[in-house]
């Protein structure tokens, strides 16, 4: 396993981050525990979750599954860098969501109970809250850090200017500020190359891409459909929208002799701005298969081919659209 620093911090995390969104809804608790044990055995020390995962409002089912796994002992908690999130609705009350100081405090305490831990390594804002001032947000986060309940603060789904706002306000308060940003990023969705990645590089944030396989679309979906695999209505629409690109992509992967999912992850790992993509295995086989990407090194010509198939926005803004 390869390890890198999380952004500008001294914290070292694995190049692949174990996403747990499927734990509960798609993967049983027993199988989720097996996957987490195997991830540790393989050297994956970076686990990502959120208080809303499990999709039963207020229950934090996925966090509970991880908490019961931590409770088994064997230094499980000590070996894991655990990241969770705050923002989503955890109740029916007016203050049971978003980023008010009150909700941040209550949500953090609840996540700590579910995860059965004394501290959260990386506490991420799941979305920007335009209605709450940054001074209030940082006051709440600063208190959690002071109490030892949170170590690092990250963001998710922020625009580049939100990252600038957050870190400039943090700087004025003599705080470390954001250390990571979790964004949608894959060969099909490259918008963050315009401003989010440049902002992260400027402020020293690690970029943690979610949906690196575009919900499975980049995992050889056309061949799987030919073999009888069923897909959701949403996936079918995406496939039809991008079918010419996907046909070229899967042919390219066949040409170089690598699985499409491995190529998609290897393309991302080649980017120095990326800390590590979030993989979301539903099964043990999927987890083990993802590790092949770590040994796949695409050359410059292969990267050019991928850029031809999936052209990005043209680089960072404003040069991407102006002179």
Which CATH number do you get for residue 175?
3.20.20.100
Q: Is the peptide bond before 318 cis (omega within 30 degrees of 0)?
A: yes
pLDDT over 90 at 48, yes or no: yes
Is 53 part of the annotated catalytic residue set? yes
pLDDT over 90 at 224, yes or no: no
Looking at residue 205, the DSSP 8-state letter turns out to be P
What is the structure's pLDDT at 302? 97
pLDDT over 90 at 287, yes or no: yes
Cα distance between residue 310 and residue 3, in whole Å: 28
Q: Is 196 domain-assigned? A: yes
Question: What is the mean pLDDT of the segment spanning 288-292?
Answer: 95
pLDDT over 90 at 232, yes or no: no
Q: Is 148 domain-assigned? A: yes
Cα distance between residue 7 and residue 20, in whole Å: 22
- Model confidence, pTM: 0.96
Q: Is 269 domain-assigned? A: yes
Q: Is 238 domain-assigned? A: no
Looking at residue 149, the DSSP 8-state letter turns out to be S
pLDDT over 90 at 149, yes or no: yes
Q: Is 173 domain-assigned? A: yes
117 and 84 in contact (C-beta within 8 Å)? no
Q: Is 226 domain-assigned? A: no
Which one of the listed residues 53, 152, 185, 249 is annotated catalytic?
Answer: 53
What is the structure's pLDDT at 121? 98
Q: Which domain range does residue 186 map to?
A: 3-215+261-306
Question: How many domains is the chain partitioned into structurally?
Answer: 1
What is the structure's pLDDT at 53? 98
pLDDT range class, residue 243, cuts 50, 70, 90: very high
Helix (H) or strand (E) holding 136: helix 134-146
Q: Is 284 domain-assigned? A: yes
Q: What percent of the chain has pLDDT over 90?
A: 94
196-203 and 160-172 helices, crossing angle to 10°: 20
Q: What is the mean pLDDT of the chain?
A: 96
pLDDT over 90 at 311, yes or no: yes
pLDDT over 90 at 197, yes or no: yes
What is the structure's pLDDT at 85? 98
Q: Is 25 domain-assigned? A: yes
Cα 273 versus chain centre, distance: 14
């Amino acid at each position: 396993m390869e390890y890198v620093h999380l952004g500008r911090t001294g914290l070292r995390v694995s190049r692949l981050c174990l996403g747990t969104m499927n734990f509960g809804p798609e993967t049983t608790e027993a199988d989720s525990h097996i996957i987490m044990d195997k991830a540790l055995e393989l050297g994956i020390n970076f686990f990502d979750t959120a208080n809303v995962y499990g999709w039963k409002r207020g229950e934090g089912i996925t966090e509970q599954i991880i908490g019961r796994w931590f409770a088994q002992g064997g230094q499980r908690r000590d070996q894991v860098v655990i990241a969770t999130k705050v923002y989503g609705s955890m109740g029916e009350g007016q203050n049971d969501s978003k980023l008010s100081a009150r909700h941040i405090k209550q949500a953090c305490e609840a996540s700590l109970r579910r995860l059965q831990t004394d501290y959260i390594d990386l506490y991420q804002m799941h979305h920007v809250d335009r209605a709450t001032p940054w001074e209030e947000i940082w006051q709440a986060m600063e208190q959690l850090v002071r109490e030892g309940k949170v170590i690092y603060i990250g963001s998710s789904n922020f625009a580049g200017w939100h990252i600038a706002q957050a870190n400039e306000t943090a700087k004025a308060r003599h705080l470390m500020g954001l250390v990571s940003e979790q964004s949608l990023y894959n060969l099909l969705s490259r918008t963050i190359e315009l401003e989010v990645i440049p902002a992260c590089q400027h402020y020293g944030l690690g970029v943690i891409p979610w949906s690196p396989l575009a919900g499975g679309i980049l995992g050889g979906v056309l061949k799987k459909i030919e073999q009888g695999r069923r897909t959701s209505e949403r996936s079918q629409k995406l496939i039809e929208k991008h079918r010419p690109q996907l046909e070229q992509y899967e042919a390219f992967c066949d040409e170089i002799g690598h699985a499409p999912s491995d190529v998609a992850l290897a393309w991302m790992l080649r980017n120095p701005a990326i800390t590590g993509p979030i993989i979301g295995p539903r099964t043990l086989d999927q987890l083990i298969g993802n590790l092949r990407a770590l040994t796949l090194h695409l050359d410059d010509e292969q990267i050019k081919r991928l850029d031809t198939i999936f052209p990005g926005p043209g680089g960072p803004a404003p040069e991407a659209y102006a002179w």
